[in-house]
């Protein structure tokens, strides 16, 4: 038996084929995102307002980042 014929009868061959068949339809359903939509005035104003609302009195909502770390992450971003 040739190596190709032997490979066709392996479990890995069929499992990888099933994985591909499962994945392929998903690539056609993915909604395309307009990257330039991020740079609209409304989005920029939304982010600006969120940053302006940060005060020392604001409790952390998640994580352990301090205020200066938050601002540094926004600036470096």
Between CA 77 and CA 41 the distance in angstroms is: 19
CA distances from residue 69 to 45, 57, 76 in whole angstroms, order as listed: 22, 16, 10
Mean pLDDT over 19-40 rounds to 74
24 — pLDDT class (breaks 50, 70, 90): confident
25 — pLDDT class (breaks 50, 70, 90): low
pLDDT for 45: 92
Mean pLDDT of the chain, nearest integer: 78
Same domain? For 37 and 73 the reply is yes
11 — pLDDT class (breaks 50, 70, 90): confident
Structural domain for 10, as ranges:
1-30
pTM: 0.38
Same domain? For 23 and 44 the reply is no
Q: How many domains does the chain have?
A: 2
Same domain? For 40 and 59 the reply is yes
Same domain? For 10 and 47 the reply is no
Same domain? For 22 and 8 the reply is yes
Mean pLDDT over 2-21 rounds to 75
């Amino acid at each position: 038996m040739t190596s190709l014929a032997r490979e066709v009868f392996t479990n890995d061959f069929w499992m990888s084929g099933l994985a591909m068949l499962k994945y392929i339809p998903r690539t056609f359903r993915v909604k395309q995102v307009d990257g330039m939509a991020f740079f609209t005035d409304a989005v920029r104003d939304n982010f600006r307002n969120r940053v302006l609302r940060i005060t020392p009195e604001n409790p952390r909502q998640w994580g352990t980042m301090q205020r200066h770390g938050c601002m540094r992450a926004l600036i470096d971003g």
